[in-house]
Amino acid sequence: MTDLLTRPAAIDEQPAFLVTPPPTHIPPMMIKPPRDPRWKKRVAGGAAVLVLVAGGGSAGAYFMEEHLNSSTSVAVAGDVATITEGTDLAPIVAQVQPSVVTVLVDSNQSSSLGSGVVLSADGLILTNNHVIESDGTVSVRLSTGQTVPAQVVAADATHDLALVQATGLSGLTPVTFATDDTVAVGDTVLAFGAPLGLEGTVTSGIVSALDRSLDTGEEKLSGLLQTDAAINQGNSGGALVDTSGRVVGINVAIATSGDSTGSVGLGFAIPADTVTTVVTQLKAQVR
């Protein structure tokens, strides 16, 4: 199988990735990032940890030679369903999948992709800022396979979120957001997106920690959800949802070990309250 990953070369050492609270038994880590500032490698006790932002964008964590074909709602009240062994998650997937899209950015030099979620019936899409920050033509591919032109209408680099307006669409199903006070460590969650370009992918796990902080080298994100649901490059901007199908977070980053760039069960998502606040601010810029 052709290797579609682009891996920049290493440069001088500099600080990166901080998770709060840090483990007290691990000594300070030395960091040696590759040329792409979003890729950060730190070594402790002989084990390397690579922290990167999933998905595309100018930082180019994931580039493909070709793409694989394959009104904001906030916090609906209601209890989260209890998941037990043998519980069928298919109804949740069927509910959320139509509201998850793939965001594509094409230029003369390269093509990249990330994920996004539908905010309005006419095609307002939320994704990560790092997915769309590179120069190029933006388009959105729906879960049906339909691809339409799009343009970036507002962005917040500080919180790594952006709004993209797809054209010529109607009748889409917007996602519904939960609130942070409905999320607890141990809750079952599902991650939606296009990891490694494999669109329409869903993985499951739990919320494994709350209130993490992450320094990608360009953004310092805080209050993040941590999950062991498999998140990989291309999941950026996709939905992390609870068992009621509500979005509890927007996938933004992963940590990997050694020279691997794959999931090791440490993914991070921007929590719903932060997302809805930023979306309100970004929508005000569009008017």
Mean pLDDT of the chain: 75
Of 142 and 110, the structure prediction assigns the larger pLDDT to: 142
- Asked if pLDDT for residue 69 goes beyond 80, the answer is no
Q: What is the pLDDT of residues 87-131, one digit of tens each?
A: 689 999 999 999 999 999 998 888 889 999 999 999 999 999 999
pLDDT attached to residue 251:
97
- Asked if pLDDT for residue 49 goes beyond 50, the answer is no
Determine the average pLDDT of the residues in 180-205: 96
Q: b/e for 4-22, b at 16 or more Cβ within 10 A?
A: eeeeeeeeeeeebbebeee
pLDDT attached to residue 215:
80
Q: Which of 32-41, 117-126, 144-153, 277-286 has the lowest mean pLDDT?
A: 32-41
pLDDT attached to residue 14:
29
Share of the chain above pLDDT 70, in %: 68
- Asked if pLDDT for residue 223 goes beyond 70, the answer is yes
Q: What is the pLDDT of residues 2-35, one digit of tens each?
A: 323 222 222 232 233 333 232 233 233 222 222 3
pLDDT attached to residue 134:
86
DSSP letter at 254 equals E
Picking from 184, 260, 189, the residue whose alpha carbon sits closest to that of residue 7 is 260
pLDDT attached to residue 36:
35
Contact 40, 33 (CB under 8 A): yes
pLDDT attached to residue 135:
84
pLDDT attached to residue 278:
97
pLDDT attached to residue 138:
96
- The residues annotated as belonging to the active site are 130, 160, 236
- Asked if pLDDT for residue 206 goes beyond 70, the answer is yes
- Asked if pLDDT for residue 167 goes beyond 90, the answer is yes
Domain 176-273, second-level architecture: Beta Barrel (2.40)
- Asked if pLDDT for residue 266 goes beyond 60, the answer is yes
